[in-house]
A and B are shown apart, each in its own frame.
Chain A
């Protein structure tokens, strides 16, 4: 089975540009999570969806960040305008509720560098 798919894998952009990150969750998973990881702050949850509906976006750092999930197989995280401090690895993860808890499966991540 295919795992979580993310694109692009690497993105280098200049400050002020719009950045769009994409994610395809594992088929059949009804939860989707966006994380950001930096050396300083570790792994931070930005937002998560259940059945395509945003449930908790309290981790979204500011209005420059937005996320959508138009259908069960696709989600985007957009940063507009981007800033150097947004440089990080952005992971998408998906899950479905099962006995024992909500283990999440991560995509390979998008390494973002904002110059």
Chain B
């Protein structure tokens, strides 16, 4: 079983739609959680951290469910520029500072 699992998609949605991605992780000791965004042929870029109480950044809302070991990302009012691959990332934060990346969910926002 992969440490971080995501639906690869693609999710194909019209502009203005609301779309949600989920991600599950296997290590219950994971302490830090992030969503990264990667555009085609570009580097991954930090989108937002995910906090236990959930957090929002503009049109983006991230939620963490420790009991079920899943993380979600909700994008409201999708824009064409949101088209990218969204990577779910967890850190075990035991004695190391590694980040474990999911393989990503691809989002296509159409006009």
Contacts and interface: CB of A to CB of B under 8 A. Distances in A.
Task: Determine if chain A interacts with chain B.
Answer: yes
Secondary structure at chain A's binding surface: helix, strand, loop or mixed? strand
Interface stretch (B21-29, B44-52, B60-68): B44-52
A43 B44 contact: yes
Interface residues of A, number: 22
Contacts of B49: 100-101, 103
Given A101-B91, A102-B32, A106-B45, A42 B97 contact: no
A97 B96 CA distance: 12
A43 B101 CA distance: 7
A54 interface: no
Interface string B80-111: 00000001000101001111011110000000
A12 interface: no
Contacts of B101: 42-43
Interface in B50-80: 51
6 contacts: A43-B101, A45-B99, A50-B97, A101-B34, A103-B46, A108-B43
